[in-house]
Amino acid sequence: MKFEELGLKPGLLRAVSSRGYTKATPIQAQAIPAILKGKDVLGGAQTGTGKTAAFALPILEKLSEKTSKGARNPRALVITPTRELADQVGESFRDYGKYLSLDIIKIYGGVKINPQIANLRNGIDIVVSTPGRLLDHLQQKTINLSNVEILVLDEADRMLDMGFIKDINKIIDFLPKQRQNLMFSATYGNDIKKLAKGILRDPVSVEVTKRNAPAEKVEQLVHFVEKNQKRHLLAHLIKDESWYRVLIFVRTKHGANRLTSQLNKGGIPSAAIHGNKSQAARVRALKSFMKGDMQALVATDVAARGLHMEGLSHVVNFDLPNISEDYIHRIGRTGRAGKSGIAISLVSSDDKQYLKRIEKLLNTSIPEGNVTGFKPVFETPANNKSTKGNQNRENQTGKSTKNTNRPVKFKSKNKSMGAFGPKPSGPNKRRRQSA
Ligand code: AMP
């Protein structure tokens, strides 16, 4: 469907076309007319489907019908689970609304509150916020939400996973009862159904893919590998296959820091983003990754949602997530907006239970990839003092890995393929390189 058919004003059409969009995505074609009609909407949309524009464009359209300047309270409130997502959604609103005269503010923690207070005083039309900092403003009475006409809960499933349900309910108490509600979620478990029932009134459901489906066009592969070989295999793949912009997910903040320093030492420029990093450090890391100064960005799941990254070559699950839905969000970072992408999971014996659950959720088994030319690396006290004494802890296969150069047998799902499959350039290898 063309954007011109959606009834948007010329300023919005200009902004959309300046971003190079020619046609509305399915979620946009379904959600925009419903939102313009004033309906509550429950959007089941996986990441990368264009869902931000699906709510931002009609909100901008509706609010721009009545504008005023000077001190005024926000009329639309968008709540997101993470700072990064708030940042990106706020920027999208600004970009789509660049030919309109609406003021948009992004509110999240980790940065000074006073500039936010000053901006709010000047008058704001749209607030994009994470729950915590918004509650700070509400408690300090530096924001007044009594004029909010439209509420958006973006990545609602993630907000529930992150334990924000109480905060959301507290925030909703500050909103007028009469308002339009839009809720977006990639997955649709019982908790989300309950939340939707409590907030939405007679919603129009718009859903663009099978629920719990991973981003289409993402090629998924697993490599079975001993835990203490994961980083060596990862470095080998990045170098051997010239992965140029890799987003790597790990389960813990400590794990993110450790892997980042190991990759850097191995000549792969890398940075970490996770919850213990300041907002400034996270923004810096993201920027240098997007500029190409960093080849790899190592992230915990805080970065899994909403981050918009153009041109990722690969997403790697260094550890599989223990919440299966997170797998879908993680791999959704690649293959966005119709482009193809590759998601690789490194599966040690620890991860196998998670792999089983993920494959059950996806209702398919993920094929095993081929690796050529990888030789396991065994640490010796001389070549790696830092891992001395850590071997048994790192090798969670139940067997102790001694510091010898004896080859270790890798367990493979497909036994006939051996540790990493047949040797030269299998079809996976070719596909990986051409994508
Ligand atoms: P989102 O799902 O909102 O995070 O959007 C994912 C990506 O799709 C972003 O890079 C958007 O800029 C892009 N996008 C959104 N709408 C369209 C469209 N109609 N045509 C092409 N790309 C789009």
CATH code that applies to domain 218-377+406-422: 3.40.50.300
Q: Is 153 helix (H, G, I), strand (E, B) or coil?
A: strand
Looking at the predicted structure, is the pLDDT value of residue 36 above 80?
A: yes
More reliable by pLDDT, 338 or 370:
370
Tell me where in the chain the CATH 3.40.50.300 domain(s) lie.
Answer: 3-207, 218-377+406-422
Looking at the predicted structure, is the pLDDT value of residue 421 above 90?
A: no
Are 110 and 83 a contacting pair, CB within 8 Å?
Answer: yes
Residue with CA nearest ligand 1 atom 5: 50
CA of 83 to the centre of ligand 1 (A): 19
Looking at the predicted structure, is the pLDDT value of residue 41 above 60?
A: yes
Q: Using the atom order of ligand 1, give the atom closest to the CA of residue 49.
A: 2
CA of 85 to the centre of ligand 1 (A): 14
Q: Is 347 helix (H, G, I), strand (E, B) or coil?
A: strand
Looking at the predicted structure, is the pLDDT value of residue 405 above 90?
A: no
Are 90 and 104 a contacting pair, CB within 8 Å?
Answer: yes
* Residue 281 banded pLDDT, cuts 50, 70, 90: confident
Looking at the predicted structure, is the pLDDT value of residue 75 above 60?
A: yes
User: pLDDT for 6-23, tens place per residue?
Assistant: 999 999 999 999 999 989
Residue with CA nearest ligand 1 atom 14: 50
Q: Report, as an integer, the average pLDDT of 373-401.
A: 50
Ligand 1 residue neighbourhood (C-beta within 6 Å): 21, 23-25, 28, 47-53, 308, 336-337
CA of 337 to the centre of ligand 1 (A): 5
What pLDDT score was predicted for residue 387? 41
- Select from 5, 12, 17, 21 the residue to mutate for testing ligand 1; criterion: most ligand atoms less than 8 Å from CB: 21
Which segment of 129-133, 275-279, 415-419 scores lowest on mean pLDDT?
415-419
More reliable by pLDDT, 283 or 307:
283
Query: Is beta strand 180-185 parallel, antiparallel or unpaired with respect to 76-79?
Result: unpaired
Q: Using the atom order of ligand 1, give the atom closest to the CA of residue 337.
A: 8
Are 366 and 345 a contacting pair, CB within 8 Å?
Answer: yes
| CATH architecture for residues 3-207 | 3-Layer(aba) Sandwich (3.40)
Q: Using the atom order of ligand 1, give the atom closest to the CA of residue 23.
A: 19
Looking at the predicted structure, is the pLDDT value of residue 57 above 60?
A: yes
Residue 127's beta-bridge partner residues? 77, 105
pLDDT winner (highest mean) among 40-49, 199-208, 397-406, 417-426: 199-208
Provide the 10 A C-beta neighbour count for residue 88. Answer: 21
Looking at the predicted structure, is the pLDDT value of residue 425 above 50?
A: no
More reliable by pLDDT, 411 or 211:
211
- Select from 25, 30, 55, 216 the residue to mutate for testing ligand 1; criterion: most ligand atoms less than 8 Å from CB: 25
**How many helices (H) and strands (E) are present in the chain, helices listed first?**
16, 13
Q: Report, as an integer, the average pLDDT of 390-406.
A: 33
* Residue 102 banded pLDDT, cuts 50, 70, 90: very high
Residue 166 exposed, middle or buried by CB count within 10 Å (0-12, 13-18, 19+) = exposed
* Residue 126 banded pLDDT, cuts 50, 70, 90: very high
Q: In terms of Cα–Cα distance, which of 337, 314, 309 is closest to 48?
A: 337
Q: Report, as an integer, the average pLDDT of 122-135.
A: 96
Residue with CA nearest ligand 1 atom 15: 50
What pLDDT score was predicted for residue 412? 39
pTM of the model: 0.62
Q: Report, as an integer, the average pLDDT of 121-141.
A: 96
What letter would DSSP give residue 195?
H
- Select from 6, 52, 60 the residue to mutate for testing ligand 1; criterion: most ligand atoms less than 8 Å from CB: 52
Half-sphere exposure (CA, 13 Å, Cβ side) for 268? 28
**At 224, which helix (H) or strand (E)?**
strand 218-224
CA of 397 to the centre of ligand 1 (A): 42
